[in-house]
Structure 1
Amino acid sequence: MAKYKINPLVILLLNILFPFALMFSSSIEALMICFGMAAFFLIYFGRYKRLLKFTLWLGIFYIVYLFLLNCSGNNTAMMAAMFVYVFMKCFPLMMLASILFYDYNTSEILSALQSLNLNREVMLGITVALRYFPTFKKEFKIMKECMKMRGISPTIRHPLKTLEYFLVPQLFRCSLLSDELTAAGLTKGIDNKGKRTSIFNVRFKRGDVLLSFLSLICIIFVIVWGDSIGSVF
């Protein structure tokens, strides 16, 4: 029996709601609830290695956060702790975004978005963004390999030179990539004003409704009682 394919709109909905939940709640426990929800989706898609990476990095940042908090009386450390905590709040969002980028076809996401009757300009922007980020990752790897072949090794000791080695080639590639993405979009009929058909089944099924409902309950719980949980523990 084939595994049930979650509608990408469910993942998008959570990616929109998570920032609101974490904005209204400042406790670590609320962050862990959102992290657990995102972890559930990674486990469902079988991305255990990716989940392990996110968990390890969150653990490292949490240790750094606790260390900075213990530096009482140091304003710089307190400010750094605040930035680290804000970055930690982005982890659930990055986990869900990784599912959209790597576990869904771009055309599938666009077909799901089309069912929402979004503005055409918004759809075009999302199309370019969804296609650009995976391409940028490949280009970044190519640049690193090219520098390695030429004996150039980026290092933190020379940040300006390292930035130059990455930035200048990327600027040239951006202009070429924009032309390539535009050509790919035109080939697929993105400029067609009529309604596009799709081979993907993007209807909202009962499972999607149930997942959205349960996720919404968890989000409301985090917003209303998130700080109370932190005070209890």
Structure 2
Amino acid sequence: EGRTRRERESMGCATSAYVVVGRKDKKRTIQESVVFVLQLRVPVQSDLQRQLKGVAPKTTIDRLTCLRNQIQLVAEDTGGSAISELRTALEEYLSLLTGLVKKKNDGMEGCVEFKWKTLGDGRRGDICFTNLWMEILAVIHMMAALVLTEANSLMIPKDCSASGNGVRVVSTDCRRDAVDLLLKASGYLEFCVREILTRFPFDIKSKLPDDMQESVIQTLSIQALGQGT
């Protein structure tokens, strides 16, 4: 109830429920979970070879380009459902970006455009970063969105054919795996708040998309942590 309108509009809400059978064959539907899911934002192809020529090693530029294109193509072709493949590519891309930050490759700052768009939202959700830490924020934000999506899919009741009565249930294993994913998502989002957003002045943070605002990310982190404990 205490969330702002911006926070509510920036979060998708997915609800899962399961059914139990009590005495005298009475069925009761018990609310299982409400998972708020971030909008899925994906990279947009950029001419990194031209922008980074002479600034970074060619092998680094080629790897950046390859991973960004891979993430975009897989996400668009599958609607974000190829979570395992996307996670692997994102983790490798994040490792590459982290290495560049640790090397303090200041020559890249401001000379390259990292473009992103909201999946299925045309050009209205397009954003562009020229900062490595902003790119890292976008990557971890996408990783959190995928984890929350996966957690929600595990909480969708499945038909229990063994019972023969058509009762839809969420298995104990699925609930346990969903809890682990919620805790992971909370960790990703908390890292964004504590380790990335603190690096930018207010005027920069205020220009971020609604779903990347600190208040929204913090709210989602707390929500995921609460459901995972």
Q: Provide the TM-score with structure 2 as the length reference.
A: 0.28
Of the two structures, which has the highest relative contact order with CA contacts closer than 8 Å and spacing of 6 or more?
1
Q: Provide the TM-score with structure 1 as the length reference.
A: 0.28
- Structure number with larger C-alpha Rg: 1
Query: Which structure dedicates a bigger proportion of its chain to helix?
Result: 1
